[in-house]
Structure 1
């Protein structure tokens, strides 16, 4: 687990370094990826600007309001690029990449945003009190981990979200041709996907912690819209 966390941190740190220089690592992929028969579908979705984290459906479901605290687990740059800075709720972000957190702090200072906190660390061990958050999300993260870590992340999310709080997360749709390309890209970027569960197994894991209100298939992933059980 620690090795995988380190790989993910280093990979995203590297992505931030290249991004500051104006280099998009997704634009320089090897031929075994770009020549794959499923790559055009992936590229088309990317050109259409489809973002798992930036979907209107997430905001509609969470209904962020001025008196709510929102936790973004594995936040990446959602605050900068997916409109989370416009939400009325108080933003808190957690990410394993120190350079991601550094860039977000720079963004917050430059835009003079009023947020809650930005924490560099793993999503399975956060510094927050029990039942602290009204709403939360964990999108594009669980695909990197095997079952044991995924369960720890679910338990932690359950701990810090209030009873009946709304939570959105996603897991890979392993049969999707788009996810097959995503796996190749993530491997190339040095952060291989390790998710090793069926959706049925994941549903069983969730049942003691969250009520599944609906699911949607999006760009190679399955998004879950959940209510926190207590």
Structure 2
């Protein structure tokens, strides 16, 4: 495997059949949550990485934002019809109410200031958001039992935030109206409205 590939890229391309089932379940939950929404004409995936989430969605206009230019290059190759730009979740270069749906999956746990990111997400959405994070302690346990990050008791070295499902929903509830909570093991996924 190429040394330049991110941990995210390796996860979504894992040869481990169990990991494949877990990722497929996550993507199916994401598709099902978004399928319930009406009049979605503009979508942004913040922290889009290599475009795996964008690749699984079926919307006419999707924009991807990430801080990694290498990830954006791969995302563009996989999704040539989509728009991509480099940027930070703390300062998204779009006007207020620019998108019908904002997606940020597996992003908030990497941030020192998730509160600032959630304010920025609220600013750019017209209506809906789908947000997901690892559901702790299950995410760590899964890592530990598959022999990953043993010295850190399964915690990913890039994760600076750790939420149980209930704590994450409570956090989101301070910024949005929570419409639906899904728990595709080992994540928490929240569909919410501005």
Alignment TM class, shorter chain as reference: 0.7 to 0.9
Shift of 1:25: 7.9
C-alpha distance in structure 1 between counterparts of 2:12 and 2:76, whole Å: 24
Question: Any gaps of 5 or more consecutive residues in structure 1?
Answer: 1-12, 29-42
Give TM-score, length-normalised by structure 1: 0.65
Aligned twin of 2:96: 130
RMSD value, Cα: 3.4
Shift of 1:44: 4.7
Shift of 1:27: 9.0
* Alpha-carbon distance change, 219 to 209 in structure 1, aligned in 2, over 3 angstroms: same
Match of 2:4 among 4, 14, 24: 14
1:144/1:191 contact within 8 Å kept: no
Match of 1:101 among 72, 75, 88: 72
> What secondary structure sits across from 1:209 in the alignment?
coil
The one of the two structures with greater contact order (alpha-carbon pairs below 8 A, sep at least 6) is 1
- Kindly name which structure, 1 or 2, has the bigger radius of gyration based on alpha carbons: 1
Is 1:178 the counterpart of 2:142? The answer is yes
Bigger helix fraction: 1
Q: Deviations for 1:49-104, whole angstroms, at most 9, x for unmatched residues?
A: 6246622x3233323778610010111223588423xx133010011111011223
1:45/1:219 contact within 8 Å kept: no
Aligned residues between the structures: 182
Question: Any gaps of 5 or more consecutive residues in structure 2?
Answer: none
